[in-house]
Amino acid sequence: MERASFDWEILEKLRMRFLKPESISGVYWESKQDLLQYHISFGKRIGWKWRAVWEELGRLGWKPESKILVDWGCGSGVAILSFLEAFGSEAVEKIFLWDHSTLACEFAKECIREIDDQVSVDIKSLEEIGDRLPETLCLASHVLNELSHNERQALGTSFRQAKQVVWVEPGNFESSRLLIAQRELLLKNMSVIAPCVCQDGCPMLKEQNSRHWCHFFARSPQEAFTEGEWARFASLLEIDLRSLPYSYLAMNRSDLEKLESPENVSRVIGKPRQYKGFAKILSCDRRGLNDFELQKRDDKALWKSIKKGKDGSLYEWQKLGEGRIKQGTPSAD
Ligand SMILES: C[S@@+](CC[C@H](N)C(=O)[O-])C[C@H]1O[C@@H](n2cnc3c(N)ncnc32)[C@H](O)[C@@H]1O
């Protein structure tokens, strides 16, 4: 891949497009330059989210169960490239790329070739993959809000035939909700590995939880703060690089070995909200979704861990009172 500097005109054009997905109709990549600019900026930022997801899945003991990968709606290939970065070329034998933009598929293929010129890469739709779909590990990223309802249904219905699915979407309300709908579709013959700690219906779908959404925050690497172009990217395009919100979903087909979370584990959603002397923590587990309060004086170590946000998002609440966490610890991996 040629080394490129940010082209502000192209980046602003792309930004406007992504801010208004309703304005998108059909294929929008106009040139290889568009894809290159996406790849080194927005795409790179998405890659940082994928990195966080692979790390979390690793902590949970998740492993790829197939060397045949699909990247659907691949764009510049960020999802598959992040997989290669996390697991290495030896984890992949065959890659199927799909995007309704041929330009995007070709660009992604070129990026993969730069890392591994041996691996087999084919551009194929899910229909064309056909009988091989049940052998695959399917990836998708930042695509749901560009699809119609029927396209989303068709995608979920195909994906649930795969061995494994890992899906990353923006951490906003709409995308998270669209991903939750995919979870419900996939649950028919898959089980959830993460972020959910159980296989029940998503509690976010209950009326009383309709204002919440399932999201997490990844960390930006040092370069986002030290390299000059990123500072301009952040200010010109009004993108906060300190905050990388994302939603994700990892599922294995039900016939694979189960990877159950321990009974007593809870997932902390989003960022705990800090107030003077206490924090509000949105906690999801077998009890459903609960907005608990944690008083600093009840458990100082837990308060510190939650505030620093360095211990991941899985916790065990050892003592719960009426709407309150009285004692807890980060969950041991
Ligand atoms: C925001 S980009 C994300 C690209 C890449 N997955 C990533 O995470 O960087 C969305 C991609 O979905 C593709 N796309 C949108 N609608 C599609 C459809 N109906 N079929 C296939 N690809 C589609 C677009 O062409 C675009 O490349």
Consecutive 10-residue averages of pLDDT for the chain (333 residues): 84 90 84 97 97 96 97 98 98 98 98 96 98 98 96 98 98 98 96 96 97 96 90 92 95 91 93 94 96 96 90 92 94 71
Mutate to test the pocket of ligand 1, among 15, 146, 244 (most ligand atoms within 8 A of CB): 146
Query: Which of 2, 43, 8, 1 minimizes the C-alpha distance to 231?
Result: 8
What pLDDT does residue 124 have?
98
Superfamily of domain 8-253: Vaccinia Virus protein VP39 (3.40.50.150)
Q: Under 8 Å CB-to-CB from 272, ≥6 apart: which residues?
A: 279, 280, 281, 282, 294, 306, 307, 309
Alpha helices in the chain (DSSP H): 8-19, 32-40, 42-59, 78-87, 102-115, 126-129, 149-159, 173-186, 223-226, 228-237, 300-308
- Nearest atom of ligand 1 to the alpha carbon of 43: 9
- How far are the Cα atoms of 12, 135, 283, 287, 325 from residue 320, in angstroms, in the given order? 48, 43, 12, 12, 5
User: Within 6 Å (CB) of ligand 1, which residues are found?
Assistant: 43, 46, 73-75, 78-79, 99-101, 104, 141-143, 146-147, 151
Question: Which three-class secondary structure state does DSSP give residue 294?
Answer: strand
Query: Which of 108, 129, 109 minimizes the C-alpha distance to 66?
Result: 129
What pLDDT does residue 123 have?
98
Give 259 Cα–ligand 1 centroid separation in angstroms: 30
- Nearest atom of ligand 1 to the alpha carbon of 18: 1
Q: At how many degrees (to 10) do helices 8-19 and 42-59 cross?
A: 60
Q: Under 8 Å CB-to-CB from 22, ≥6 apart: which residues?
A: none
List the residue whose alpha carbon is closest to atom 26 of ligand 1: 75
What pLDDT does residue 25 have?
79
Answer for the pair 70, 129: CB distance below 8 angstroms, yes or no: yes
Answer for the pair 260, 274: CB distance below 8 angstroms, yes or no: no
- How far are the Cα atoms of 6, 40, 42 from residue 3, in angstroms, in the given order? 10, 9, 16
**Strand duo 278-285 + 190-194: pairing:** unpaired
What pLDDT does residue 260 have?
82
- Nearest atom of ligand 1 to the alpha carbon of 140: 6
Is 76 buried (19+), middle (13-18) or exposed (0-12) by CB count in 10 A?
buried
pTM score, whole prediction: 0.96
Question: φ, ψ for residue 145 (rounded to 5)?
Answer: -75, 0
Give 30 Cα–ligand 1 centroid separation in angstroms: 13
- Nearest atom of ligand 1 to the alpha carbon of 42: 9
